[in-house]
Each structure stands twice: as structure tokens, then as C-alpha cells.
Structure 1
Amino acid sequence: MEKQAISFYVRNCILRNESKIIYSPFESTGEKEKMNKKLSFLIILCILLSTSFSQIFYAPNAYYQKSEENFHITVIQFPNPNIEIFTALGQDQILGKEKLSSIAKRYNADLAINANFFSLDSGEPIGLVVSNGELIHLPIKRGVFAITYDGRAVIDIFETTIKVKVNNNIFKIDNLNSPRGGNQAVLYTKKFAKQTLIQNNAFAGVNIIIELDNILPFHGNIKGKVVNIEYGVLSSNIPDNGCVISLGGTALKYLPLFEIGKDIEIIVESKPTIPIKEAICGGPILIKNREIVLGKTNEIPFDQNIINGRHPRTIIATKEDKIIILFIEGRTTTSPGMTLKEAIELLKTLDVENALNLDGGSSSNMVLWKEPLINSDREISTALLIKNITETTEPKYLFILPDEDLYIQKDEKKKIKLILQDSNFHKLDISSFTWSISNPIIDFNPQTMEITGLDYGSSELTINIGNLSAKKNITVYTNTFSEDFELDKNWRITGKNIDEMFTTYSITTQNGYEGKNFLSLKYRTLPGDSFLYFEINTVIVEKMTKLSLKVYGDGKRGWLRALFYDSNGKPYVLDITSFKGIDWTNEWRTIEKDLGEIKPLISSWNLPPKYPLKLQSIYLVFLNNSGIEGNIFLDDLKIY
């Protein structure tokens, strides 16, 4: 039976349809240099994005999504009355460090990311911190992400000065919530710690204890009253409803202005003058108004390793009415991380308007429903939290994670997670459920949520809670694979620059090699670079070392290749023929290939694939062709 090309389709990226990108990883070699230029990092990332998992909503108009390429994204419609976005400090103080998961648990946040760079020794964050309208740490000349009271998400560089007015005398505060130096006037609020602190090279000074009528604003004035003056002290307790102004060295010249009972005013001036409610600092700014600005913002310089090294990354971006957060895994054999230039290419595929790099490396992480996405849950200084603030309703959604089909070996165990949500996407506790399996080739332990492979084949696990049901397809795979093309299994053809009306496959007996039937693949290309994918979609385990295929040639020099995806979603290829392609006619040839010759589609990765693999397609490549019509035959595909 002859089949039309079933689907010449465009894969969607997460945030937009890239209509020029057809599902066909562009090739290289030979003329290969030309093709390498076409194989831009942007296009490959868009392909990888298209292989991502389903969206998991944790609040209305706010979802999380994991890519098989080891990066994670959350997209938030903003403004969004269903959520609260806020800044939090480790241990709720400047000199406190805490694991991101612990911060998320304390605040009952649904999603959390790390934020500011910080001192590994003291935990003091670097740059601006604003929480619920309170100025906690002063900005430096580095990029800031901020949420305003009027519902805007802003990425910019800010300047802030703090002044103290006593009678008609005004002087400038040198720092806020940071250990005082020898000749400084420093202001401390309760967000610093229980007590003030001076630097190692500083001497005792005078601390002025002040009762305030309000929190310290990002921009504006507050009033206070001097309630005590402590002379010759190294530290003082910080009052819950006030602050301490610590004077040392030459800053003691301001001491005569103060006396107990004296009224004072604290003046905070910030530019740009924006009503900021929450703010975190990172840097550098990567994109501004859709223009790449890396290295052009005059921010305080970063170590070049932060810029050019491949590291885990946490990045926050804005796009029209959306906030987009990326967490990119790194420093592993399967996920090296990204340079900032590579991260920018990824951001451009998402068409963001503005983007800011946050602290990365070992600090990078994302927590969903109080569980870190990676095991490295380092203590950090600041976090940005997102909380679903809608009311809890009746259960509505039930699903199993991971959400893709599950492939396991015989006797192998794999854990799953069962997620129950209400109509507002709150994650609900599960007290009990029922379950069944369609084929007893697997065992399911409801206490540990483990699936064990018992025998080869496929099965379906069904879990029920009330009238809600979730299903998971499970395949227990063998160490060999064979396809003799005796039966039509409704295979799928995809491609780029292919005449979809003409391109077909059929099961036929003409020119047979062995057995009763084999596969006939008839095609017609369009001018340019053409790719024709015949989807196989079978699991390849590490014990399989050889691929064998019988090919009846048409002499049209189609480059025959195999496309694999590893367990991280990275594409790999195997050349079944050389770049010269199928250059023989009217005869069957048996081609045997060593699977050790599989190589990354993107040569710069230079990483071995993570097993198990999926053989996605056997495919033909025609580069710079003017339009070719041909017909090849395939039989007896074996992987063993």
C-alpha cells in the first residue's frame, strides 16, 4: 500500500512558531563548511526547545517546562493577579545563607530561583536588594531586575543615595547594611543581622540608635527619633522598629548633630525614579530592547570566565506581558552549561526584549513545589520567589512525571511522581489512589512509586483518583532490534524541501532481497538543501554496538544517515553512507556500521551520548541540489 508523505511539519519553539525551521537538523561535512554556517546555534536550540516536555502550570498563566536539553524555563503572564513575586534573603538577613529549597519551604513558594551574586564568606549579596518596598542593600553599577508597584517588570541599572537630615544639616550615608569601614557612616536595619558589624581594619565608633516611623523606602523620605547613643562600641543591637547609624573615623564629625530625643529625617533618592516593590541584582545585562548589549552597558566588569566559560546559568528576561526565567544546567558530562554568548542565542530564539544574567555556577538552581531541580542545592544569599495566591479548589488535574514515555530495561527500576492539582493549579496532597497495568511485563510499587521491568514488551500504567485518571506508556526494551519491513507499520515521513505530494513509501516485492516484502522509498526534492526523514523511533541501549541495513541504490547520491537523540535530548548522527552518498544502482548492498562512530550533530559539543538512545530516523540528505527524483529500497534493518 502506497503512503503519501504523512507530515511535513514545523516544530514549535516554546514561545513562538519559527515558521522557517522545519524539523530537520541541518547537516555538515564536505561542502560541509558552508552548511556549518547555516547550522547556527540559534536554529539548533530552537529544535531542542521543540523536543521539550509538556508545560506544568503552578498558577494560572504561569507554567514551568523542562527541555530534554537540560535547561528549564518558566513563563509568567505579567501583571498576574494570581501570583505574588517577591525577594527573600537567606535566613531573612543580609549576613545569612540558606539553601534555595529551604527558602522556598519557609515562604511556601511554588517556584524559586537564586538571585544576587554574593560573598561566599559572609553571605552578603552584591548589588541592589528590595523586598516588599523596603530598601535592603544599595545598588552598584550592574543590572537589576525589579517589580514595580504599578505592575511592571523592569531590567535596568539604578543609582541610590541615602542622606540623613538633622535640623537643617544633611550628610550622606556611605553604605547600607554592610560592615562599616574605618571612616564611614553606615546605616543598619533589622534586615542586616541582629547586631551591627565593622570591618576587620576598622575601629570602634559611635552608634546612634533610631526609632523609625516606617521601613526604608527605595525612593522617598521617612522620619525617626534618636533613642540612644552608644559610644566606643564595636557593635550594637539593631531595633526591630528602627535602625542604627554607625559612625567611625572621620565620619565622627557628624556626631555633634545627634542627641537623644532629636528628630531626624532619612532621605532616599534613586534613579531612575521608579516605584520599586521587589528588586534583585545580577549582571551583565544581555539584551535591552531586543538588542544584544553584552559588553556595552558600562557595568562593573566581570571575570572573563563568567562571560566566556561554560557554566550553569540563571537568567531572567521580559517580553511584552511576560516574565521568562531560564535555568541552564551545567558542569556535568552530559550538560556542560553555556557561555553568555550561547545563552544569548537561546534567548533570541525566545524573542525576549530584555534579559539579565543572575548568579550562576554552583548557585544556579530552580525549585518547583519545594523540590530543587538538581541535587546541588547550595546555600545562597537571595532568592526570587513565585507564589500562587489564588484560593484552593477541588481536584481537577492528575498527571505523572516525567511526562514522556518511559523506557526501562529488564530488572531496572525507575521512579515516577504523581501530581494532583486543583483548578487553580495548586499542588494537592494525595492520600490514596488506585492503579492498573495493561500488560504484566512490569511491576508497580505504589509505596515507593517505582516501576520495575519484568519482561520485554510494552505496557500502560493507569492511576486513578476519584474520576481523574493519568496514564503512562512503558516499554521494557531488549538488546537487539530488527525491522524486516514485511508489514506496513504506518511509518511517518518528515522533511525539508521535499515535494510532499510525490514523496511516498510503500511495502513492495519488486527487486526483493530476501523475505516476502521490503520498503520502497520514492522521493522528489526541491531546489536547495533537502532532508527526508523516515521515522523509526526505537530504543538503542549501550549493549548494542552494530547497525546493519540493506540498501538498493538509485545512483542519485543521497547521503544516507541515521539520526539519534540521547537521554538528554541531544541529537547525534551516524553516517550510513559516506558524504558521496548512494552512488550505486540496480543492486543490493549490505552496509554495516559500528555504533561507536555515532557523533554529535553539533561538533562543538564533543560529548558522548547518554544512553539509552532513540533511533529517530533513517534519512537522506541532498545539499545544494536543483531538484532530484529518485527511488531507493531498504530491507533488513538490524541493530545488535
Structure 2
Amino acid sequence: MTKFLCVIAVTLIPIAAFSQVKFDTVNVKQIGEGAFHYSVVASSVPWTLEVIEIDLTNDIYSLETVKAEDKLSAYEKTSSMSARKSVEGHQVIAAINGDFYSGGTPTNLQVLNGEILTKPINREVFGYSSNSEMFINTTSYDGVLKIAGESKTINNVNRVRNSNNIIFYNHFFGSSTSTNEFGTELTLKAIDPWVVNGEVKAVVISKAVNEGNATLTDSTFVLSGHGAGATILNSVSLGDTLVVNHKVTPATNSITQAVGGSAKFISEGINQGNWPERHPRSALGFNADTTKFYFVTVDGRQSTSAGMTLTELGDFMLGIGAHNALNLDGGGSTTLVVHNEVANSPSDGAGERKVANALMLVSSEQKTGNLHQFEINPSVKKIYRNQSFAYKVEGSDENYFPVNLISQDVSYSLSEGFGAEISDSGLFIAGNNPDTGYVFVEYNGFKD
């Protein structure tokens, strides 16, 4: 059942102080067990925000990063990454665009299911461990290679090999290392699960001296050395077991997922936002005991939403419960996806932008395809007299996954005495006089 509030005037709220801005939640949709999507507006500014709130105490959920096209240097829409990674038993409930990037490569650290793609820079990172512990912090990289118990330095990850370096390459880099022949390359197979901040044992399965351009596969990685680095690798024989540890400090726990951003603008409940311009923005955050996690976008550069400063976004996120928050890539990149559909209004004229990576909320629940409930969106609507508005009816199964409805089987009606009209297609037309009433929807025996 949808309640209408038909009005002929609105009261503008002064925004000299942020606390004076009135926010209205115009739609609430449950998208999973303990997971909700809120659409929020502040018409006086104006602002339009989308919020995902997740109860992480439910063990059906996990947070995972995703890389565009599963390649280090590539672009892909967030909605495409979400759809591509949604498979049986691994359904992406929601996703938000991730880090800033250059040439399709994230500028900061990314860890995906324990595999490292890029080293960190001097900006904050969100990290998530296998036991669901999380942090937002500036990090540094210290790659360690143990050969016969002796520690050597891994100088970089998935980057061009420089003089006297040892570089770690994995399948995200491409089909081969693209190195020249002046060096030594070991191809190894990990025998432990990949993790950052933890030792991973691996067996040498091939060794190439003065050849270069070693092949990379999903199940192997390459250590490529030049000069002093090559001398170190030359001491290794086929069948040897080496140990790799991608240390990221100051984090101490093992890291299975990580995505970078530009600023930790809420730190331990304190708003530290210092970006004064209003822009479209994307952010992630979590509450004080890390049981609730948030994806938040605010649209901008549009007549319906001006964008926010980081201080304004910080105030908003503190208000919904965030205790720590990280600013992600914004502007035209700002995208929030729910069940593989874009939920916000990206500011680029061409629509959703291709980006370098994203963060996903993944559910282990199964789709059943059985209609269990349906709802009208938005659930509350304020409009002017004589204006019209088209409603959307959506169905879902027992686990809140979308179920397609046959539009011609949906019927609409109004509460008795409501001075308005509604068409067979759900187009609501407000009357000439102020009024309040309800819209009813019926579908194959279901009624709301």
C-alpha cells in the first residue's frame, strides 16, 4: 500500500546549519536478510542520496572487491561487474564504484580474495580480513620473499621491472610479464590460499634465464628479477619451496579484500571532511562495533542534486550510524548498483561510467524465482496538484531477489474518496485540491 501526500506548496528549509536541512526517506526496500536500500532526498538544497545498510552479523554476507574485466588495466561498468560476478550461491546484492584510477589501473591498494593487484600509496585504504575484521588506514607495502629461510625484498607488484628489482606478477597483469630477456624469471604455484599479511608457500615449477616474457595463468605467478634481483633468483632450483609475504602495514591481521580511496573523512565518530566543493560522491563506512556496513552515494551536477562537500557527507553518514568512513572515487564515477541495476543517477551525460574496480556485497543465498512479496516504489510520494507520476511495482522471492512481473496483470486502485486518478499502467494524476490517500496494487492474488 502506498500513501500519497498531495500538496500545493512546499516550505523551504534554511541550510545555514546542516542540522536544519530536512531529509526525507522516499523509499525503503529490503534487498536481503538484514540488508536495506534507502532513497533519501533533501529537496531544499537539493540532494538525492542512495544508502545501502547491511547487517554483517548475518553470515550469508561477505564484502568482496572486483576488478574491471579481471585485468589490472581495464575499465568496466559497476553494473556489469556486479552481473558478471553474480552466480549461483554467490549473488551480488549491491555494489559501489571503488578507487580512483589511471589508465584503468587503481591508484591505491587492491586485494581481491587474498590476491594483491596493486601496491598502496599514501592514501587511505579499506581492508577486510577473513574473520570479518576491518580497517580504514594509510598503508605501506613491504614484500618479503623467503628462500631457504633467508628473507629477500619483493620490490613491486604487477609493475614494470626496473634495475636490480624482484617484481611479483600474477594473472591480473596479463597473459605474460612483458619483460625483456635481461633477467631471470621463476614460475611458481601457490600451495597455500592467497592472503595479504600472511605467509604463502609456493613451489617453483619453471625457471627461465635470459628469456623474459614469462607466461601468467590463473593458477601460477612469476617472480621476475633483474641484476641483483636476478642473482638472487638464480640460486633457486626447480621444485624448491619459497615463501611469499605481501606485508601491508600498519594492519596486522590477514587481509582478503582491500580497496583504496582518497580520505578517511569520518574517524572514530569525528567528521574530518575537508573537501569544500560540492560534487557527486561515493563512500563506504561502518558503525562503531563493525556490525553495520554502509554504501552511500550522493548525486551531483544535476538540477535534482547539487552534490556534497565531504563535511556535508560526513554529517549525513554520522547521522545514519557510521563511525568510520572512506571517500571513494566520485564525480561521474559515482555509481550504486542494487541487484545489478543502477540505483542512483550518474552525472555523466552518457550515463554510467566505466571504472577500474568496485566493492560488492555478496550473498550466499539462492534465487528461487517464486513470487513471495511485491511492493510499489516509491512508498511515499509528495507532489503538486495536477502533476502526474508513474509508479513502479517490483516483486521478489523469499530471499528478496527480484522476480519479474507481467505488467498487464498488475491492477491499480485508489482509496475511497481520494481526489486523484490512476491509469491501468500506474500513472497517478493528482487532483486540483490538496488531499491524502492510498494507492492499492493487486497482482495474481497479492495485494499491497
- Matched residues in 2 for 1:172 and 1:149: separation? 26
3-state secondary structure, aligned to 2:423: strand
In structure 2, what is the Cα distance between the partners aligned to 1:381 and 1:460? 44
**1:283 correspondence with 2:266:** no
1:339 match: 309
Match of 2:198 in 1: 220
After TM superposition, the structure 1 = structure 2 runs for residues 288-367 of structure 1, keeping only pairs within 5 Å, are 288-294=267-273, 307-319=275-287, 320=289, 321-367=291-337
Cα pair distance change 1:24/1:152, threshold 3 Å: farther
The match for 2:71 among 68, 78, 93 is 93
> How far 1:453 moved relative to its partner?
5.3
Identity score, percent? 22
SS at match of 1:229: strand
Given the alignment, which residue of 404, 409, 414 partners 1:429?
404
* Aligned position for 1:64: 37
Counterpart of 1:279, as a letter, is A
How far did 1:352 drift? 2.5
Q: Confirm or deny that 1:463 pairs with 2:444.
A: no
Which one-letter code corresponds to 2:381 in the other structure?
D
| Matched residue, 2:143 | 162
- Give 1:397's match in structure 2, choosing from 367, 370, 373: 373
3-state DSSP class of the match of 1:324?
A: strand
Partners of 1:400 and 1:289 in 2: how far apart? 38
Alpha-carbon spacing, 1:209–1:383, altered in 2? closer, same or farther (3 Å): same
Which residue of 1 is the match for residue 80 of structure 2?
Answer: 102
Measure the CA separation in 2 of the matches of 1:53 and 1:231. 64
Residue 17 of structure 2 is aligned to residue 40 of structure 1: yes
Give the Å deviation of 1:249: 4.9
- Of the candidates 340, 346, 351, which is equivalent to residue 370 of structure 1? 340
Q: Give the whole-Å Cα distance in 2 for the aligned partners of 1:233 and 1:374.
A: 50
CA distance in 1 between counterparts of 2:302 and 2:178 reads: 39
- Report the RMSD for the aligned CA atoms in angstroms: 3.1
Identify if the C-alpha distance between structure 1 residues 130 and 255 changes in structure 2 by more than 3 Å, giving closer, same or farther: closer
What TM-score do you get using the length of structure 2 for normalisation? 0.82
Q: Which runs of 4+ in 1 moved over 6 A?
A: 23-26, 454-460
Preserved CA contact (<8 Å) 1:290 1:351: no
Equivalence for 2:360: 385
Give structure 2 stretches of 5+ with no counterpart: 1-9, 42-46, 87-91
Match of 1:55 in 2: 28
* 1:444 to 2:424 alignment: yes
Tell me the equivalent position of 1:117.
100
Moved more, 72-81 or 203-212: 203-212
Task: Name stretches of at least 5 consecutive residues in structure 1 with no aligned partner.
Answer: 1-22, 28-35, 296-306, 471-640
Counterpart of 1:246 in structure 2 is 224
TM-score under structure 1 length normalisation: 0.59
State the alpha-carbon separation in 1 of the partners of residues 122 and 109 from structure 2. 10
Mapped partners of 1:154, 1:112: distance in 2: 19
- The offset of 1:136, in angstroms, is 3.2
1:405 partner SS: strand
What are the residue-to-residue correspondences of 1:461-540 with 2, within 5 Å?
462-470=440-448
Cα distance per residue 1:263-320 (max 9 Å; x no partner): 322233343211333221112111221123457xxxxxxxxxxx33321111111113
- Compared with structure 1, are the counterparts of its residues 369 and 292 closer, same or farther at alpha carbon in structure 2 (3 Å cutoff)? same
How do 1:548-587 and structure 2 match up within 5 A?
Answer: none
Residues 314-365 of structure 1: CA deviation (Å, up to 9, x unaligned) = 1111113211221011122442312222222323333421111111112111
Corresponding residue SS for 1:264: strand
- For structure 1, which segment, 207-216 or 59-68, has the greater mean C-alpha deviation from structure 2 after superposition? 207-216
For 2:282, the aligned partner's letter is T
Higher relative contact order (CA 8 A, sep 6+): 2
In structure 2, which of residues 364, 389, 395 is the aligned counterpart of residue 420 of structure 1? 395
2:235 to 244, 257, 263: 257
CA distance in 2, matches of 1:100, 1:229: 39
Using the TM superposition, give the Cα deviation of residue 417 of structure 1 relative to its aligned residue in structure 2, in angstroms. 2.2
Letter in 1 for 2:52: T
Structure (1 or 2) with the larger CA radius of gyration: 1
Shift of 1:147: 2.4
Deviation (angstroms), 1:143 = 1.6
On the 8 A contact 1:435/1:461 being kept in 2, the answer is: no
What are the within-5 Å matches in structure 2 for residues 162-181 of structure 1?
A: 162-181=143-162
User: Contact 1:79–1:152 at 8 Å: present in 2 too?
Assistant: no
Aligned to 1:266: 244
Q: Is the contact made by 2:184 and 2:207 (CA closer than 8 Å) also made in structure 1?
A: yes
Contact 2:27-2:377 at 8 Å conserved across structures: no
Structure 1 residue 74: Cα displacement: 1.3
Deviations 1:18-70 (A, max 9, x none): xxxxx99765xxxxxxxx8xx412x134x22xx12232110111111111231
Q: Is the contact made by 1:211 and 1:239 (CA closer than 8 Å) also made in structure 2?
A: no
Indicate if the aligned counterparts of 2:176 and 2:215 stay in contact, CA closer than 8 A. yes
